[in-house]
Amino acid sequence: MEVVRRPAETAPEIPLTAAAVPPAAETVARPLARPLALLALGHMVIDIHQGALPALLPFLKNAFGLSYAAAGTVILAANLTSSVIQPLFGYLSDRSARRWLLPWALVFTTLGMGFTGLVSSYALLLVLVVVAGLGIAAYHPEGYRTAHQVAGARKATGLAFFSIGGNLGIALGPPLVAALVTAFGLPGTLGMLVPGLAMAGLLTVALPALALVGPASAGAGGPTTAGRAEMRGAMLLLIAVVTLRSWAQLGLTAFVPFFYVDHLGAEPWLAGPLLFAFLGSGAVGTLVGGPLADRWGPRRYIVLALLVAAPLASGFVLARGWPAYLLLAGTGFALVSTFSVTVVLAQTYLPRRLGMAAGLIVGFAIGTGGIGVALLGWVADHWGLPVTMGVLAAMPLLGALLAALLPEPRP
């Protein structure tokens, strides 16, 4: 009797059930909403403190009789500690998971900013700013690495959700601290202790659940990134792009209040609403930019957003009244919408070092923008605020020209 063999292609297929899907692949495909929401909420609270400092500067400038250069140095100290050293925390985060840093980072930041209004000297002010900055530096790389692991397949959208927490916090910080200081004087900064310590307690309670999130290897980005090569030259170019963008963003955050209060004669309380218009629209831009970058590609979106920001910023410097608010809001929307997109692009350039990639973009590149703010303070002292604002308006255009040279990530 002849045995007839079936062709291989007609062999019965094994159904792909949920049990057959490896856990790591399932994690990559589906976002974990609750951990992502908790990380975003913590991001919002810690960045409320970060956003509060520029709105405090006009009050601190009057209290200590600071020059523009000295006020810019406060921003520089905050950014050097909160941003430039973030790659170090990113390196530690990639070596082993350190989720306990998340609540402790909030404690340090909250205490530093909460007691800022009670200082009696400029030196002590800088010390407290440094303490707060160290907490901010510790939170971001671990937060971004964990958010990347739970964000699902659409990384730009997932990290946009995490980033929106931070951008919303930076937007809420100025009106919150302005309201506290207007009502209670500089000691009103103690009110910043309430949200910070409450969020630190919530993250402490959630630490056991967060410890189960993500791959076992802290340095791995997951099975889809294990074999991908790093693009270090592209990463250096991206750092330059983000540095120029952060010069524009941080410079506008620091000098828009001075431009209106000292140059145009507005009341100091107006700094809070102005910065909220700028940073609040940026938070909305982050939420919009992530899905658009997933559809168009991160590199293309960054170029387009920076090209849009340049004329809007120039228009703001020349406009007065409600058109100026609209142009400032549009500038914030375009500039800040690239925030999470640049982090996603960095993590595709360095796929095996997610914490380091986030630290280099959120930390080092943005921190070096703080150096630019200190230099702009010197420009304002010597040539005036209108010249400083004109320089800031040109930064997004330079960033767009560099961004056009960025290569596409390797498949």
What are the tens digits of pLDDT across the range 99-145? Answer: 778 888 899 999 999 998 888 888 899 999 999 989 988 888 788 77
Question: Cα separation of 297 and 273, whole Å?
Answer: 33
pLDDT score recorded for residue 281:
86
Amino acid (one-letter) located at 5: R
Tell me, what's the pLDDT at 10? 41
Q: What is the pLDDT along the chain (411 residues), one digit of tens a residue?
A: 444 444 444 444 333 333 333 344 334 455 567 777 888 889 999 999 888 888 888 888 888 888 877 887 887 788 778 877 777 777 776 666 667 788 888 999 999 999 988 888 888 999 999 999 899 888 887 887 777 777 666 666 677 778 778 878 877 888 899 889 988 988 999 999 998 899 988 888 877 766 655 554 444 444 444 456 778 888 899 989 988 898 888 888 888 888 877 767 667 667 777 778 887 888 788 888 878 887 888 889 999 999 999 999 888 888 877 788 899 899 999 998 888 788 888 888 888 877 778 778 877 776 676 677 778 888 888 888 888 888 888 999 999 999 999 988 766
Residue 217 has φ and ψ, to the nearest 5°, of -85, 120
Residue 220 confidence (pLDDT) = 43
Cα separation of the two ends of the chain: 53
Give dist(CA 389, CA 398) in Å, integer.
15
pLDDT of residue 370: 65
Report the sign of the C-alpha dihedral through residues 268, 363, 347, 212, in that order.
negative
Q: How far apart are CA 212 and CA 290, in angstroms?
A: 26
The DSSP annotation for 24-52 comes to HHHHHHS--HHHHHHHHHHHHHHHHHHHH
Contacts of 323 (CB under 8 A, 6+ apart): 315
In this predicted structure, what is the pLDDT of residue 45? 92
Q: Where are the domains of the chain?
A: 32-403
Q: What is the rounded distance in angstroms from the CA atom of residue 138 to the CA atom of residue 128? A: 16
pLDDT tens for 34-93 read: 777 888 889 999 999 888 888 888 888 888 888 877 887 887 788 778 877 777 777 776
CATH of the domain spanning 32-403: 1.20.1250.20
| Inter-residue contact 331 to 392 (CB < 8 Å) | no
The token pair at 156 is 């730009």
pLDDT computed for residue 289 by the predictor: 83
Q: Cα-atom radius of gyration of the chain, to the nearest Å?
A: 23
